[in-house]
Amino acid sequence: MPSAGLSPRRTTQLAALLSMFALFTAQIVSALLPNVPVFIAVSAAGLALDVYLQYRDPGLLALLGKVRFDATVRQLLRDMLVLVGLLRIDGIDAGSEQAPLLVAVCVFYALHFACQAAAVLVRRTRTLPIVTRNIDASALRLNAAPPRILARRQGHRLLTFSIPTTAGLLLTAATKDGYWGAIGVTVALAMIGGGTAYLATWLLPKKRAKSEQQVMNWLDKWLADYRPTVGMYFSGGTTSAYQANMWLSTLSSIDARPLLVLRERFMVQKIDATDVPIICFPKVSTMFSLENSTLKMMLHPANAAKTSQVLRIPTIKHAFINHGESDKLSSCNPYAKAYDEVWVAGPAARERYALAEVGVEDKDIVEVGRPQLAPIRPYAGPPTGPYTTVLYAPTWEGWDGNPGNTSVILAGENIVRQLLADDGVRLLYKPHPLTGSVDPRAGAANERIMAMIREANTKRSGSRPDAEAAAELVRRTAELDQLTKTSFRPGADEMERMLIQGTPRGDREAAIAEATLAWEKAYWASFPEWEHQIITDARPAIFACFNQADLLISDVSSVVSDWLSSEKPYAVANTSGIREADFRTGFPTVSAGVILTPSAGGVPALLESVRHPEKDLFTAARAELKEHLLGPSDPPSLARFNAAIAALCAAADERRVRMESRLSSEVPSPREEAAEETAQDPHEAEETAVG
């Protein structure tokens, strides 16, 4: 069971907060007594601790901000106590020495607030109505952002620029000479005044971006020049970007001019490396500029609250492609009937919608396969080495909390225990990234599973790859990072990133694909073949794990459908509490696999069937189920996907022609209107002619 006590990090944070309040208390007491040595020591220590926490643990200080004890209040209190201490120390003239210092400190704070006002204005002028990637937007007068400490970090700026003031005042307390305080305050005033003036230069015309109307005019021109035909629309939270990323390779391979349309500003940097142009429309009003573009259709990999907004554009057709197919109810969402078409992998999904009766008509369903599955290698026979590699990839608990969603809670530890008990198994454990986000029990079980795997590794031994293999992984990682990640300086803002992420150079996606394959080869070679692996990072991706594994154990999820493209053996954990026969009937994707109960007692027999294919009872069933779930192999999935795009684009073109024809017949031209008015009033026309 996890410890009920505080974690070491929480303990350290609590100690830091208590130390801060203790220093404030000591500063108050030593200022009133006064005790000069203690007063100087605690005043300096309080500021030093605050500055340290601002740079090392700003999240902790954000908690103080929630109770209105933010950096400004803390520093005001600290400076006030220093001035009070100077009043209490004998030998310092309150009139001739302290009064000017008080005035100078007030001027410093006035400049600080002026700098903050300038920072707000600068941020507003640098916030464009759209955000782009892979588009040359230099015509918008994009430029580098001002220093972060001036434009975005109020607390850092105040505390850092206050150091000379505090140091000078404390030297005055120690020497009873106001000269030192004057020097300190002067330096602080020069820093904050110069910083404010420098920041204000970003408000000058040559550094200001174009207005919203000018930006939208530029976008209209870019759309007219690029002439996109197929877009992919995506909106979601911080952890949902994978739903769009899985379609990037397909989007860049289609026979059309693609465009990726986003709605959240943060999502622009969550999208993986791609050459596809990206436009983010934070406001729905700006998004409607797409209505007058050449865009004919939108692909939707996920349902989101903001999806209804883009569906209001009548000139664009919409197809729901989903981010994965499974037997879960979420794969038959009633929202799907809002789209013009629903594109699915194969006949199984068509049947799923028919049985669900959610309002999606059969005529609107198009089978296109799963073009993303091309990297998955097919079954090549039983394991030939000393180890059978098993991939355990459970899904998460889902929003509805159904106990049958994930096997982690009820069966995960038993499955892993049975696998680790077999000396011939090498386990790859890849939990869903959202595991534990809804049900804490899933998160706790996940932690225990990982602890079991780490402990099992300590009991294994054998040769390890040499240093050259590790060096190769480091080299390949750096190479892939250089291709897939854009380096930004810490102070870069949205506008600066737009400038850096302009038009991509060369065929970057082909280079990324090649570098990814090289990285995966180096990754697996860097570990001994006997070592179990816990894979929680984005790399290696799930398909790379598929290609390493001889067997998959999972839950009812799209992972099973994708795995079936390899026709390798698989098993599904049944933690729903229903009978196996009903489980197979209710979830067709599990019909060609072994069903494991929560006790995982069937794992040894499952491993035996993987090592000895003659004992595998589901070989033919997997091939049949593969075609049922994913459609035929010929024509290839990408060809079917392109055919579906062409058909829906043609439907969009036909609608436009009909609408233009209808409008031209219903709305007369100005000349026709004049002729019609003349014909309707012949007496007036006659009088005009006589006159």
- The model's pLDDT over 530-575, given as tens digits with 9 standing for 90+, comes to 999 999 998 899 999 999 999 999 999 889 989 999 999 999 999 9
Asked if residue 176 and residue 63 are part of one domain, the reply reads: yes
The reply to whether 280 falls in a domain is: no
Regarding whether 474 and 458 lie in a shared domain, the answer is: no
**C-alpha to C-alpha distance for 650 and 637, rounded to whole angstroms:** 20
- Whether residue 67 is found in the same domain as residue 196: yes
Residues 453 and 508 in one domain: no
Asked if the structure places residue 361 within a domain, the reply is no
Q: Are residues 431 and 560 in the same domain?
A: yes
Q: What is the predicted pLDDT for the residue at 307?
A: 94
- Whether residues 472 and 588 share a domain: the answer is no
- Give pLDDT tens digits for 632-646: 988 999 999 999 999
Structural domain span for residue 74: 8-128+143-203
Residue 264 domain-assigned (yes or no)? no
Asked if residue 100 has a cis previous peptide bond (ω within 30° of 0), the answer is no
- Profile the chain (691 residues) by mean pLDDT over runs of 10 residues: 59 90 96 93 96 90 89 95 91 76 94 97 95 94 94 94 96 92 96 97 92 95 97 92 92 95 96 93 95 96 93 95 76 88 93 88 94 92 94 88 85 97 97 90 95 95 90 93 82 93 77 92 95 93 95 93 94 93 90 96 96 96 93 91 97 92 70 50 42 36
Cβ-contact 620, 628 below 8 angstroms: no
Nearest to 53 by CA among 63, 66, 67, 43: 63
- At which of 548, 572, 606 does a domain end? 606
Residue 439 vs residues 91, 182, 399, 648: alpha-carbon distances, Å? 65, 59, 9, 41
Residue 271 domain-assigned? no
Percent of the chain whose predicted confidence (pLDDT) is above 90: 72
- Residue 133 falls inside a structural domain: no
Token pair in block for residue 145: 């952002």
CA 648-654-660 angle, to 5 degrees, is: 140
Same domain, 502 and 422: no
Mapped onto helix, strand or coil, the DSSP state of residue 548 is helix
**pLDDT the model gives residue 121:** 96
pTM: 0.82
Q: How many CB atoms lie within 10 A of CB 171?
A: 18
- Determine, yes or no, domain membership for 229: no
Tell me, yes or no, whether 548 and 446 share the same domain.
Answer: yes
Residue 103: partners with Cβ closer than 8 Å, 6 or more residues away: none
Q: Which residues in 438-593 belong to E strands, given as ranges?
A: 533-534, 551-554, 570-573
CA dist 26 and 297 (Å) reads: 67
Note whether 369 and 346 are within 8 A (CB): yes
Residues 113 and 150 in one domain: yes
For residues 477 and 570, membership in a common domain is answered with no
The whole-number pLDDT of residue 62 equals: 87
383/520 same-domain check: no
Pair (518, 536) in one structural domain? no
Number of domains the chain contains: 3
Q: Which residues contact 8 (CB under 8 A, 6 or more apart)?
A: none
